[in-house]
Amino acid sequence: MPDNAITLENARTDGRAPQSYWDVAHSSQIEGFATDISVNAGEQVDFKININGNAGSDYQVEIFRLGYYGGDVARQVAGWVNTDGVVQPDAEYDATRALVDAGNWSVTDSWDIPADAVSGVYLARVQRLDANGDPIEGATNQIPFIVREDDRPADIVLQTSDTTWHAYNGWFGNNGQIGANFYRDASGTVDHPDVYDPAGTAQDRAYAVSYNRPLITRGIEGQQGGPAAGAQDYLFGADYAAIHWLEQNGYDVSYISGMDTDRLGADYLKKYQSFISVGHDEY
């Protein structure tokens, strides 16, 4: 198979790190999200990050691209320390729809994506630091986002299952509070009027969910990350397996989010020969 952007990227050895380092557990001590799940190379991705108390304290942000990389599966491409951590306001809540939205948080961090960045699924690894600048054990989290290459045709485009991630995401409030997702409510907060439902599904659940919130689908500090949620409903289910296999085998692949399939439209997809969607996408 001839070299392409993916084979050349995976041949790089700088910044490689094992999964035990970059795939950190979710903690209530620090959390956040990208203001857009998908950003084109050469543009800026913004993050809204919240710390649980001790405003002004330091935390570290490290950006990794997922691939194959000889089995390490990720390579660090950027990093910085924020010396002014923010305690964000409570997320907004619409009781009618059980909709939680942290869009009212302020932007705390930004990364100017290089114009030559290779499309992929990226993770921001965030970690709180103590007064000496040392990592606080367990005070970690991860923020996934997708980097597109709008100007590069490829043989294959892989659509991530971010719609599924948020359908099962039980994040219901600051510092990892767990509540309703599309399937039921874990908090006892939601109390919708009873309506006839021949399917017998949960009445008290979210009728709408927002991308403006951290992801805890896989769980947080020993708790399930939402009703019916598990690892299969997040990046490290089918998405991760597809990324690993495609890039290990050197396929010429580019990446988009589930949101992009709708907002970019059919004409955008025509520059690819094949379209892959994995997992159980929610529409």
pLDDT tens digits, 163-222 = 999 999 999 999 999 999 999 999 999 999 988 876 677 889 999 999 999 999 999 998
What separation, in Å, do the N-terminal and C-terminal C-alpha atoms of the chain show?
A: 35
Q: Judge whether 32 lies within some domain.
A: yes
Residue ranges making up the domain that contains 74: 5-277
pLDDT at res. 10: 98
The residue-averaged pLDDT of 4-14 equals 98
Residue 87, number of CB atoms within 10 A of its CB? 14
pLDDT-based confidence at 283, cuts 50/70/90?
Answer: very low
- Chain mean pLDDT for the chain: 95
Residue 126 CB coordination number (10 Å): 25
> pTM for the full model?
0.95
Domain count within the chain: 1
User: What are the tokens at 134?
Assistant: 């040392």
**Residue 282 falls within a domain, yes or no?**
no
Decide if 197 is inside a domain. Answer: yes
Residue 283 located in a structural domain: no
Measuring CA to CA, how many Å separate 137 from each of 54, 127, 134?
A: 16, 9, 9
Q: Output DSSP code: residue 109.
A: E
Q: What CATH number is attached to the domain comprising 165?
A: 2.60.40.1930
pLDDT for 37-74, tens place per residue? Answer: 999 999 999 999 999 999 999 999 999 999 999 999 99
Q: What is the predicted pLDDT for the residue at 62?
A: 98
Mean pLDDT to the nearest integer, 160-165: 95
Please state, in angstroms and rounded to a whole number, the distance separating the CA atoms of residues 242 and 245: 5
For residue 31, is it within any domain? yes
